Amino acid sequence: MTDTAQSTDLKLQVDRRGFLKGCTMVAAALGISEAMIPKLVEAATSAQRPPVIWLHFQECTGCTESLLRASHPDIGRLILDIISLDYHETVMAAAGHQAEKSLHDTLDKYAGKFLCVVEGAIPTKDKGIYCKIAGRTAVDILAEVAPKAAAIIAIGSCATYGGIQAAEPNPTGAKGVQDLVSGTPVINIPGCPPNPISFMGTVLHYLTFNRLPVTDNLGRPLFAYGRRIHDHCERRAHFDEGRFAEEFGDFGHRNGYCLYKVGCKGPETFSNCPSARFNDVDVWPVSVGHGCIGCTEPNFWDTMTPFYERLPNVKIPGIGTVTDIDSAGKTILGVAAAAVGIHAAIGIGKKVIKGCGCKNETKES
């Protein structure tokens, strides 16, 4: 580690060893050959650092936090080292008019060349008045910046699919970047927060190969979101073998069994969490005994809840949540069975009263 307890200032430089380590980590995450690492290094050290405008909209800054406070200093600093972060409200020194000037200078000087990173959803209802920066709405800012950017990286679940702001009933009409931008390539790095390595991999891929990585049809790079968590989870053997935590704190839970029955959304979620892991101490939710909540999937606040149940509850539009799915199914089955019974009873009753025998029925065709 290059960081020491003595260094208190935000040191933006990283030594060569840490730099190479970071590049190697990113290469591993990207799934590219080690022979490509020199190219990554070359791209990362090239004189032209790509200018980056980092826009914050409706969000909690958790994505920036996870990026900067990664216990592994190499990644966070590598990012700050290889890109020229011209506008980032959280870490920039400038404030007020200076900050806005910096934004517009970059827009003018590097039009069509800079990378735009968007963190947070964009409220569109009521002309977007629910999120304003420097007197302008998020919609306006994005509309000004997006067409001039070379590419847009939407970081976090809010910027990609709207996040918690867009959850039912979505009072501010929040939307993700991809719903509002056309013409400029958008890549999604969802997660709440996403792994910094996925963001880093995307940036380095762009710098090295001069194009964005291949994505799935939800706009997520395949190197990070190409595989289902359940299929490469360290607890998968317990699943196949029928060893489950029935509830939190029971024997199975304490023994690290599969969290399927306490609502783990690993079988529904695509991410590299089990392999990339977080915070340089090799942890991720499932490894510490909490099921995945599916934060990299679209609208996960609506579709992945309740977090501790396997399936969503049945909702009827206008009425709201009614019941869980199997109770609903049993109820309808009961109604159907009752209808069948009543129907049969009427038929029998009618026959008893009328004495109609169908054998004597004459048919013509």
Partner 1 sequence: MIYEEKHVWSILLRLYHWSLVIALIALTVTGFYINAPWTQTTLEGTGLYPVQTMRNIHGLAGYLFTAAILARLFLLLFGNRQERIMSMLPLTRRNFRNMINAVRAYLYMHDDYTEVRLGHNILAGTSYILTFIIALFQITSGFYLRLPENTFWQNWGVTFFGNQQYARFIHHLLMWYFIIFTVVHLYLVIWNELKHRDGLISSILSGNKFRLRKLK
Contacts with partner 1 by CB under 8 A lie at: 216-218, 226-228, 239-244, 246, 251-252, 255, 257, 260-261, 265, 267-270, 294, 297-300, 303-304, 310-312, 314, 325, 328-329, 332-333, 336-337, 340, 343-344, 346-347, 350, 356, 358-359, 361, 363-365
Task: Tell the burial category of 156 from Cβ atoms under 10 Å away from its Cβ (0-12, 13-18, 19+).
Answer: buried
- Shortest distance (Å) from residue 176 CB to partner 1: 13
- Residue among 27 and 262 whose Cβ is closer to partner 1: 262
- Shortest distance (Å) from residue 296 CB to partner 1: 10
Q: To 5 degrees, how large is the angle CA 301–CA 303–CA 307?
A: 65
Token code pair at residue 9: 């200032």
- Residue among 29 and 80 whose Cβ is closer to partner 1: 29
Omega into 306 within 30° of 0, i.e. cis?
yes
Token code pair at residue 131: 């999120």
- Residue among 106 and 305 whose Cβ is closer to partner 1: 305
- Residue among 35 and 353 whose Cβ is closer to partner 1: 353
Asked whether 298 and 191 are in contact (CB, 8 A), the reply is no
- Shortest distance (Å) from residue 6 CB to partner 1: 47
Please give the Cα distance from 227 to 225 (Å, whole number): 6
- Residue among 49 and 236 whose Cβ is closer to partner 1: 236
- Shortest distance (Å) from residue 166 CB to partner 1: 13
- Residue among 73 and 252 whose Cβ is closer to partner 1: 252
- Shortest distance (Å) from residue 286 CB to partner 1: 16
- Shortest distance (Å) from residue 231 CB to partner 1: 8
- Residue among 39 and 236 whose Cβ is closer to partner 1: 236
- Residue among 267 and 289 whose Cβ is closer to partner 1: 267
What is the separation of C-alpha 212 from the centre of its chain, rounded to a whole number of angstroms?
18
Please give the Cα distance from 139 to 55 (Å, whole number): 11
Helix/strand/coil for 65: helix
Helix residue spans in the chain (DSSP H): 16-30, 37-45, 62-68, 73-82, 96-109, 138-145, 156-161, 177-180, 196-209, 222-225, 236-241, 251-254, 273-276, 300-303, 325-354
Amino acid at 50: P
- Residue among 134 and 340 whose Cβ is closer to partner 1: 340
Token code pair at residue 112: 């069509």
- Shortest distance (Å) from residue 154 CB to partner 1: 17
- Shortest distance (Å) from residue 313 CB to partner 1: 9
Please give the Cα distance from 182 to 143 (Å, whole number): 10
- Shortest distance (Å) from residue 152 CB to partner 1: 21
Q: To 5 degrees, how large is the angle CA 230–CA 276–CA 302?
A: 50
What's the first-to-final CA gap in the chain, in angstroms? 91
